[in-house]
Structure 1
Amino acid sequence: MSEIRLSTTSYVVLGMIALRGPSTPYDLKRAVGHSVGYFWHFPHAQLYSEPERLAELGLLELSAEQGGRRRKTYTLTPSGQAALRDWLASPTNEHFQMRDIAELKLFFNEVGDPADVTNLAHEQIKQHQQRITVYEDMVDRFGDSRSARPRMITLELGLEMEHAALRFWSALADGQLDRLRAARRPSS
C-alpha cells in the first residue's frame, strides 16, 4: 500500500462509495455536488477518471454493463476500505486552504476604485447570507436523521465559517473593522 499514491480526490471517491455504496461516476458527481462540493472544489471530470485508476489499483471493483448505456459501477474493495480508514486515522498537519476570489480582490484593492471595496463587501454579504440559508435548510432537513448526524459536524463548521465571513464583510461595509478587531482581543 505504501507505494500507491492517492490524492485527496482519491479519498473523496473512496469515501463517497463507502457512504453511498456502489456508484457510477455520475452518481459520484451528484453526491459530491450535494455534500463535500460545498467546501472541497475540484474538477468534476476527475470523478470520471479517478474511479478507473482506483479500480486498476485494486481499491475499487468495476462492474460494467455489457449493453445499453454501458454504465460503469464501482464498489469499494477491502483494500479500498483499508486505505480509506488509514487516511482517516492519520493526522492532518496542513492548515485549511481557502481560495476566495473576493479576498484576492480585497488584497489588491488599492489599485482599484475605493467604491469597489464597498460594492465587493455588499455582494459578499449577500452571498454569505445565501449560503447560510442553504446550510440552515440542510440542518432543518437532515439534522434529526441518525444516518446524517456524523456529517452534520461538517455542516456546523461550514456555518461557523460563513457567519465569520459575514461578520467580516458586514463590518467592512459599515466601516467598523476596528470594532471587529476589538471584539477579537481578549479582555484583561
Structure 2
Amino acid sequence: MEKVSTAGYLVLGLIDRLGEATPYDVKQAAQHTNAFFALPHTQIYVQCTRLVSVGYLDEQQEEHGRRRRLLTVTPEGQAALRDWADSGVDTQVEARDVALLKLYFEADPERLARQQLTAHEELLARYEEIAGQAEGLDPGPRRTLRFGLAFERMQVDFWSGLIADA
C-alpha cells in the first residue's frame, strides 16, 4: 500500500462520497469537514495529483470547454480508504485554539471568556439546528455532528465557568 497523508485520505474519502468530482468539487465538499479537520485548498490539488499517481484515483479530462479534471476513486483507492478507516488512531489530539493560546499568555480572562461564550453559543445553536434536520444525513456526518454538539456544549461550560470565577 502506498503512503498517503491524512489530507490525502480526506480528499480520497470526499471523492468517494461524491462519486465523481473535480478538484473544485472537493474544495466545496471539504467545507463540511473544516470544523474538525481543516484542509487548505492548496492541498486539494496536490493530493489529487498524488492520488492519481499512486493509482487511487482515475482522472478524465474534458476535451472541450473548461477542460476540467474529473476524478473517480479506483477499486485500489476504495480498498486503501477502507484499510485506513479501519486502522488505529493516535489518540493525541491537537487543539489549535487561538483563544486558549491567548488565555495561556494571560489575556483578560473575563473579556476573552465573554467573547468565546457568545461565539460558542452561536455555533452550538447552528449545530442544534442542523441536528433537527439530521435525519437525512449519512451516518458519518451524523456521528461527527454529535461530536460537534458535545464539543460546543463543553466549550460553553468551560467559558461560562471562567466568567463565574471572575
Q: Same fold (TM over 0.5)?
A: yes
Structure 2 spans left out of the alignment, 5+ residues: none
* 1:45-56 alignment, distance < 5 Å: 45-56=42-53
**Distance in 2, Cα, partners of 1:136 & 1:20:** 25
CA displacement 1:146-185 (0-9 Å, x = unmatched): x523421111011101100110001101217xxxxxxxxx
Alignment correspondent of 1:22: 20
1:148 aligns with 2:138: yes
Alignment correspondent of 1:139: 131
* 1:1-188 alignment, distance < 5 Å: 1=1, 4-33=2-31, 35-109=32-106, 116-141=108-133, 143-145=134-136, 148-175=138-165
- Partner letter of residue 18 of structure 2? R
Structure 1 spans left out of the alignment, 5+ residues: 177-188
**What is the aligned residue count?**
166
User: Kindly tell me: are residues 149 and 42 of structure 1, through their superposed partners in 2, closer, same or farther at Cα, counting changes over 3 Å?
Assistant: closer
Equivalent residues of 2:114, 2:163 under 8 A apart: yes
Q: 4+ residue stretches of structure 1 with deviation over 3 A? A: none
TM-score by length of 1: 0.84
Larger Rg: 1
**Distance in 2, Cα, partners of 1:150 & 1:28:** 17
* Paired-residue identity, %: 39
TM-score by length of 2: 0.94
| Deviation at residue 61 of structure 1 after TM alignment | 0.3
Name the SS for the 1:144 alignment partner: helix
**Distance in 1, Cα, partners of 2:49 & 2:132:** 36
Equivalent residues of 2:30, 2:39 under 8 A apart: no
